Amino acid sequence: MERLRIPLEFNAKKKEEMELYNRLQKHSNPGAYIKDVLLGLVPIPGQIVVPGNGNTNNNSDDEEDLMDI
């Protein structure tokens, strides 16, 4: 099986990129971690994940139901 690779480059002069590079280096296999994030197997760091049915519609009926309790 042929392996396909995409190299990542980080600019050592940019603080934000160096912080990202250092965070990725903490993983035993940074490439696999990035692939898992892109596949949606691991949440994007800093992203709020709300468990549920995946319905993202902001429905005002939900607020009314809470008021009835």
Could you tell me if residue 27 is inside a domain? yes
Residue 22: domain span: 9-42
**Per residue of the chain (69 residues), what is the pLDDT tens digit?**
898 999 999 999 999 999 999 999 999 999 999 999 999 898 887 777 677 655 555 555 555 555 554
Could you tell me if residue 33 is inside a domain? yes
Identify the pLDDT of residue 46: 76
Could you tell me if residue 25 is inside a domain? yes
What is the chain's length? Answer: 69
**Residues whose CB falls within 8 Å of the CB of residue 11, separated by 6 or more in sequence, listed in order:** 17, 18
Structural domain count of the chain: 1
Could you tell me if residue 68 is inside a domain? no
For residues 43 and 49, the answer to whether their CB atoms sit within 8 Å is yes
By C-alpha distance, which of 22, 23, 16, 13 is closest to 44? 23
For residues 12 and 18, the answer to whether their CB atoms sit within 8 Å is yes
Could you tell me if residue 18 is inside a domain? yes
For residues 27 and 33, the answer to whether their CB atoms sit within 8 Å is yes
